Amino acid sequence: MITLTKGEASSLGAPLNRDVWNTIGPDQKLAIETPDSCSLDIRLGKGGKLDRFGGSTIPTGWREASQVLSTKPGVVVILGDVDSGKSTLSTFLGNEFFRHGGTVSVIDGDVGQADIGPPTTISTSRLRQHVFGLQYLSPDVSLFVGDTSPSVVGEKVLSGLLRLRDLAKEESELVIVNTDGWVRGEDALRYKNRLLEVIRPDLVLGIDLEVETDRLLDNHDCTVLRLARSSYARVRSRLERKRARESGYKRFLRNARRVSLSLREVKLRRFNSHYQMKIQGQENLRGVIAGLLDDQDHLQSISRVERFRNDSVVLWTVLNGAPNTIELGSVVLSPRYNELGYDT
């Protein structure tokens, strides 16, 4: 926990308010900057750590990008490798634009390392106050994708991003599209090329891109700014990324309860099919993640399937009431919402 007691300080463009406690969750960082001396009350929990650095954690190019957007907002797409700082840049740009009185929405298009919604989803959220990270935003609209890799559900992600872009443009002058870190290899390049074709951004910000990805940007009719990554960005291990996803499941399934639903009253389908699914007898789908959708196919809540039997399903969810559709994903979760694997 941290609070400002004297002076001025900020984090990614979000000011720290005096005598207001800010809680930093496990595996989260807060880079605090001050133009002058200030006093902070910091209370570290187990495993907490405090480091001091000279200078700014925000690269000069990021500030220049913010100045460009202040005079010419629109739709901006952020591209970069895994852990290159895309979410951090999205937070900074959103806070800066909001600080000057602009309206801004962030679209989280990373199905694996989702910040705004749970993993296996994409979401949009409009800033209503300054935030220290995208995970502090609550989703306005989430769409269930069903997998944690865009290589499996690429076209579904792209069609969903287009829907979210149109919704966000109705509410905000600036729309920031934060993408996943899949940028290596021919399949990744084709996917990112399709993403730019579908979203049609006014501006693309590329963070520390490889030569092949950088060439991709020359094929699109939009302004491109090539940015350096922050020297403080840290690449996480595969295990750390898995733990981050599990924290996301737990965040949105906290206080879940067991619910039984009749399949005569709700639709049932797979995440990669438009056709209604029929359950024959007792299906072994225990632990599969499922999206509970309303009549517009917007996500109401994720859930964990306990069992199917004939014409009913028992699952764990925080949703009150019955959804319009249950969409089964590919991720298999334990009763404690840890990833066990993928259902094929």
201 phi/psi in degrees, rounded to 5 = -75, 160
189-218: burial string, b at 16+ Cβ within 10 Å, e else: bebbeebbeebebbbbbbbbbeeebeebbe
Give residue 281's pLDDT band: very low, low, confident or very high (50, 70, 90): low
pLDDT confidence tier of residue 311, bands split at 50, 70 and 90: confident
Residues 266, 259: Cα–Cα separation, whole Å: 13
Q: Break the chain into its structural domains and give their ranges.
A: 1-56, 60-227, 238-342
The region of weakest confidence among 26-40, 63-77, 186-200 is: 26-40
Torsion of CA 118, 251, 299, 266, to 10 degrees: 120
Band the pLDDT of 320: cuts 50, 70, 90: very high
Nearest to 253 by CA among 182, 189, 175, 331: 331
The C-alpha atoms of residue 63 and residue 219 are separated, in whole angstroms, by: 26
By DSSP bridging, strand 223-227 and strand 299-309 are unpaired
Closest CA to 12 of 102, 132, 136: 132
Amino acid 283: pLDDT: 64
Residue with token string 């000011």: 15
Q: What percent of the chain has pLDDT over 70?
A: 98
Question: Per residue in 115-174, pLDDT tens?
Answer: 999 999 999 999 999 999 999 999 999 999 999 999 999 999 999 999 999 999 999 999
Query: In the chain, at which residue ranges do the beta strands (DSSP E only) sit?
Result: 2-6, 10-11, 14-15, 39-42, 75-80, 104-108, 121-126, 141-144, 174-178, 203-207, 223-227, 257-262, 267-270, 288-293, 299-309, 312-317, 325-333, 339-342
Q: Give the whole-angstrom CA distance, residue 291 versus residue 118.
A: 10
Q: Read off the pLDDT of each residue in 227-250 and give the average, rounded to a whole number.
A: 90
Burial status of residue 252 (CB atoms within 10 A of its CB: 0-12, 13-18, 19 or more)? buried
The confidence band for 282, taking pLDDT boundaries of 50, 70 and 90, is low
What are 81's two structure tokens? 């490798």
Is pTM beyond 0.75? Reply is yes
**CATH class of domain segment(s) 60-227:** alpha beta
The fourth-level CATH superfamily of domain 238-342 is Pre-mRNA cleavage complex subunit Clp1, C-terminal domain (2.40.30.330)
Average pLDDT, the chain: 91
Find the mean pLDDT for residues 269-273. 92
Q: Residue 175 half-sphere exposure, CB side, CA atoms within 13 Å? A: 23
Higher pLDDT pick, 333 / 13: 333
Q: How confident is the model at residue 227 (pLDDT cuts 50, 70, 90)?
A: very high
- More confident site: 125 or 210: 125
Answer for the pair 302, 293: CB distance below 8 angstroms, yes or no. Answer: no
The CA distance from 204 to 42, in Å, is 37
Query: Is 40 in contact with 9 (CB distance < 8 Å)?
Result: yes
Is the pLDDT at 56 greater than 90? The verdict is: no
